[in-house]
């Protein structure tokens, strides 16, 4: 099960949206956009805020777009929970009662879909990392946080896929907002543990997130994926200590 402090309600915020929210010429009158206004939003945990540019509508059209997006995102969360990274954008459109083109305006890629439904979870994990920084045992604090990431990624389908490097285009490793936010959140815990000699000095936050992604994806179809993932992470964690 996911840690009790993590959110489980469907995401209805537009905070992770990075797509162009303006509507094309010829859309129904209720959704036709006026002159586009460029704004910037911030995405990530308390230690990582990634600027994303979106295009908003004038006030008299914005409400319809927000209602559409909230409905699309609520349905998307349910579909990803049921089908993981294989969730169908077309099925999301059908259940949400909107056109496929409307869904793709808001969620143009599978990466955008997974990041959107994972935003609140990633933010909660970032907050959790900050809370653990004051712990007296630096190794325990790091491992507790990593265990929380494993537990939540194993119980919330789609999160591991959102964190995975997909190799889609140059520089895509640096455009994964979910992974970047968690790596930034892990850095203080990792640096303190390394400084205390509790973790090997050459271990990186990217190593740790990649390890978790691999474990979660490998155990996704096990009878009890959360238990299996936790066991494998425990075995891996025993190798994080410096060699004596």
**The predicted structure's pLDDT at residue 5:** 53
CATH number, position 193: 1.10.357.10
Contacts (Cβ under 8 Å, ≥6 apart) of 202: none
The number of residues making up the chain comes to 244
**The predicted structure's pLDDT at residue 68:** 86
141 with 192, same domain: the answer is: yes
125 with 103, same domain: the answer is: no
The answer to the question of residue 65 being in a domain is yes
120 with 203, same domain: the answer is: yes
232 with 186, same domain: the answer is: yes
146 with 225, same domain: the answer is: yes
In the chain, DSSP assigns E strands to 37-43, 50-56
**The predicted structure's pLDDT at residue 132:** 97
| Grouped pLDDT means (10 residues each) for the chain, 244 residues | 50 36 36 38 45 49 82 94 90 94 90 91 96 94 96 89 68 67 96 94 94 94 92 87 63
212 with 137, same domain: the answer is: yes
78 with 142, same domain: the answer is: no
Total count of domains within the chain: 2
Q: From its phi and psi, is residue 169 left (phi > 0), alpha (psi between -120 and 50) or beta?
A: left
DSSP string, 81-113: HHHGGG--HHHHHHHHTS-HHHHHHH--SHHHH
Q: CA-CA distance, 210 to 225, in Å (whole number)?
A: 17
Q: What is the pTM of this model?
A: 0.69
129 with 183, same domain: the answer is: yes
Q: From its phi and psi, is residue 97 left (phi > 0), alpha (psi between -120 and 50) or beta?
A: left
């Amino acid at each position: 099960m996911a840690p009790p402090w993590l959110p489980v309600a469907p995401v209805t915020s537009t905070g992770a949206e990075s797509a162009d929210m303006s509507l094309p010429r010829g859309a129904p009158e209720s959704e036709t956009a006026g002159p586009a206004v460029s704004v910037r939003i911030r995405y990530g945990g308390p230690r990582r805020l990634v600027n994303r540019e979106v295009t908003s509508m004038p006030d008299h059209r914005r409400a319809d777009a927000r209602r559409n997006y909230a409905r699309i995102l609520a349905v998307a969360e349910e579909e990803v929970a049921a089908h993981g990274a294989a969730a169908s954008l077309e099925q999301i459109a059908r259940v949400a009662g909107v056109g496929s083109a409307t869904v793709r305006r808001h969620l143009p890629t599978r990466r955008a879909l997974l990041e959107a439904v994972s935003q609140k979870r990633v933010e909660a994990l970032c907050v959790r990392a900050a809370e653990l920084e004051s712990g007296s045992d630096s190794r325990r604090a790091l491992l507790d946080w990593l265990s929380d990431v494993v537990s939540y990624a194993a119980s919330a389908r789609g999160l591991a896929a959102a964190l995975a490097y997909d190799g889609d285009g140059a520089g895509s490793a640096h455009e994964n907002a979910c992974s970047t936010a968690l790596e930034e959140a892990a850095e203080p815990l990792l640096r303190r543990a390394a400084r205390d000699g509790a973790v090997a000095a050459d271990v990186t936050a990217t190593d740790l997130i990649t390890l978790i992604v691999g474990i979660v994806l490998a155990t996704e179809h096990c009878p009890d994926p959360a238990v299996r993932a936790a066991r494998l992470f425990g075995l891996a964690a025993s190798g994080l200590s410096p060699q004596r």
